[in-house]
Structure 1
Amino acid sequence: MLSALLQIVVIQMLLPLIFILMLWMEKDRSKLEWIAKMLATVMIVLWVFLTGRWDWVSYYIRYLFILLLLISLFFSWKRTKPLPLRSKLTRTQKITLGIHTLLVFVFGFYNVSAFTGYSTQQQAMELAFPLKNGTYYVGQGGGDTQLNYHHAYESQQFALDIVKLNKLGIRATGFYPKELDQYAIYGDTLHSPCDGKVLEVRSHLSDLIPPESDTEHPEGNYVALSCDNEDSIVYIAHMQQDSIKVVKGDRVKELEPLGLVGNSGNTSEPHLHIHAEKDGGGIPIQFDGEFLIRNSLVR
């Protein structure tokens, strides 16, 4: 929880705000200084916009950062426009210019890397989205580790972690509540993403109080499906104790209820984990032709 708090507050919120305010308020001696600072600020805000976990503070706040950036660009350029392109710099100004230039390259690389995770060259498996009646947010998803930490693990590299947003665009009431019913997705019905056969089921594990986790049973309560006409296995994990309605060997129809979202297994909070794998390797999945990534919404 401490690391998540640090990332959200310091990196995702304070870092871009500081650079936006610096661009807006600080006076430069030349256009060159302003350009370096402007590019560094744009790269940082874009990176946070693309890779931040906005379900923790409100999905809609990410657009406020873009608005603040545009306002800052307008007023700072208005102030900078009369300045010469270059001027003699002090030692401190040279160091500042160098830092901003370094940040442009570092965060530019991060952004290019994140953009590569927006698509995949591999053939994606088409599934029906397993949740209904709400606004669902992809917290982990995509083809790059900046968007999806699962991508570092071969069998789960295209896995999705999905939560539900309340009316404020937040996944839960409170920052990190211990009460499971404070998470918007907890107890939502999970539906089969395809026609197929039930290969594996586990249903007896207890739902855990965040941030407890069960590393010995990483899937928690889960259903594994073999979808018709697909040589792969789809895993739906972290389900609610004793909520699963199917047993091993059952045939299921697409969108048939399977059980409820819970908080069992190696999990930090209630969410849906879904991934497909073939011969031990993760394969991409898509819904209605869309390859979902972090910050994608499904309504």
Structure 2
Amino acid sequence: MLFTALPIFMMIVLPGVFIFVLWRAAFKSKLEWGMDAGSTIFLIAWLFQSANWSWIGIWVRYVWIVLLAVALIMSWRKIRALPIKVAYTGSQKFSLAIYGFLMLVFGYYNVMIITSYTTKEEGIDLVFPLKEGAYYVGHGGDHVMMNYHNEYPPQKYALDILGLNGLGTRAKGFLPEELNKYAIYGDSLISPCNGTVVKSENDLVDMTPPEMDSDHPEGNHVLLICDQHPATVLLAHMQQGSVAVVEGDNVTTGQYLGKVGNSGNTSEPHLHIHAELDGEGVPIRFDGRFLVRNRVIKPGK
């Protein structure tokens, strides 16, 4: 989740350029307009679903939908009297080929995202482990495009949960060093099920973003087995000194476990949760819902 210039370019500059070209380009035919419009629609649809919008505000993605609709209407008014196709020059044929290529690429990306929304594998149903506030799925789903954990079999269906502030961002700033500027930092974690604690850690320091402790990947954590399923459930990156349970404790659904921190191999405060059985990730559903990136959860509402 480290900040890089590429995601911001993808979320702001790239869609802006595509929409501007669609709006201002001098098309020679409806075919040329349709190819440009199609590639722009597929691009916006892909970014709308797959980009981590908590960096700049979760509502910004809707701005692009509105601007896209405006560009489509205005550009159509300019080209509606044009023929469906004309005799194209070499450069125009090349442009059509580029549009076709972009439609194939972004169309494929959208198909992969759609496949990530569900899984046929049986999983474990849990109660969402955060009680108050607004939370955002930064990584989640059944495809690597939506969830980088998907590449690692034990964490295939892992989720990274971020908090949201009033502006719809995960923090005050892009990557502040002060932990209390992250919306989720210090929020209380509750047990997602009735079960037994099989391991816990409480003494690791909270790292200063973007520093990470790769020697202790889970950081302070609670590992438990729920009564309804043999998988182990890991809640990781908890706040130093906040973990309230130890190995062997029996816990009940809703029982306080500790607080969200920034310990372990993490670039910023968030909750990492996954279920694992025999080295394979197990799908997690919260109150029957399979969560994917860009889902917003408001417990109790």
Same fold at TM > 0.5: yes
Q: Quote the residue 1:129 is aligned against.
A: 128
Equivalent position of 1:4 in the other structure? 3
Equivalence for 1:191: 190
The equivalent residue for 1:19 is 18
Q: Specify the alignment match of 2:178 in structure 1.
A: 179
Query: Post-superposition shift, 1:209?
Result: 0.5
Q: How does 1:262-281 map to 2 (within 5 A)?
A: 262-281=261-280
**Which one is further off, 91-100 or 262-271?**
91-100
Instruction: Give the C-alpha shift of residue 91 in structure 1.
Output: 2.0
The residue that corresponds to 1:88 in the other structure is: 87
Give the secondary-structure state (helix, strand or coil) at the position aligned to 1:4. coil
What displacement does 1:103 show? 0.3
Residue deviations 1:206-255 (CA, integer Å, cap 9, x gap): 00001101111110010001100211100000000011001110000101
Runs of at least 5 residues in structure 1 that lack an aligned partner in the other structure: none
What residue number does 1:118 align with? 117
C-alpha distance in structure 1 between counterparts of 2:278 and 2:214, whole Å: 23
Partner of 1:204: 203
Report the alpha carbon displacement of residue 124 of structure 1 after superposing the two structures with TM: 2.1
Poorly superposed stretches of 4+, deviation over 4 Å: none
Q: C-alpha distance in 1, partners of 2:275/2:8?
A: 33
Residue 36 in 1 paired to residue 35 in 2? Answer: yes
State whether structure 2 residue 59 is matched by structure 1 residue 60: yes
Secondary structure of residue in 1 paired with 2:4: helix
State the AA in 2 paired with 1:265: G
After superposition, give the CA deviation of every residue in 1:47-79 in whole Å (9 maximum; x if it has no partner).
100100000000000111111111111111111
* Aligned-partner Cα distance in 2 for 1:178–1:4: 13
1:293 match: 292
The reply on whether 1:253 has 2:240 as its aligned counterpart is no
Q: Structure 2, unaligned stretches of length 5 or more?
A: none
**Shift, 1:27, TM fit:** 1.4
- Residue type of the alignment partner of 1:209: T
1:217 is aligned to: 216
Cα distance, 1:96 vs structure 2:
1.1
Aligned length: 298
Which residue of 2 is the match for residue 74 of structure 1?
A: 73
Deviations, residues 274-296 of structure 1 (Å, cap 9, x unaligned): 00000110000011111000000
2-structure distance, mates of 1:265, 1:38: 45
String of CA shifts for 1:9-39, please: whole Å, max 9, x gaps.
2112111111011101111000010010000
- TM-score by length of structure 1 reads 0.98
Distance 1:201 1:9 in 2: 37
Q: How does 1:156-175 map to 2 (within 5 A)?
A: 156-175=155-174
Shift of 1:88: 1.9
Query: What is the SS of the residue equivalent to 1:113?
Result: helix
Q: Under a length normalisation based on structure 2, what TM-score does the superposition of the two structures give?
A: 0.97
Q: Deviations over 1:142-183 (max 9, x none)?
A: 000000000000000000000010011000001110100000
Distance in 1 (CA, whole Å) between partners of 2:62 and 2:112 is 21
What is the alpha-carbon distance in structure 1 between the residues aligned to residue 62 and residue 123 of structure 2? 30
Distance in 1, matches of 2:147 and 2:5, equals 19
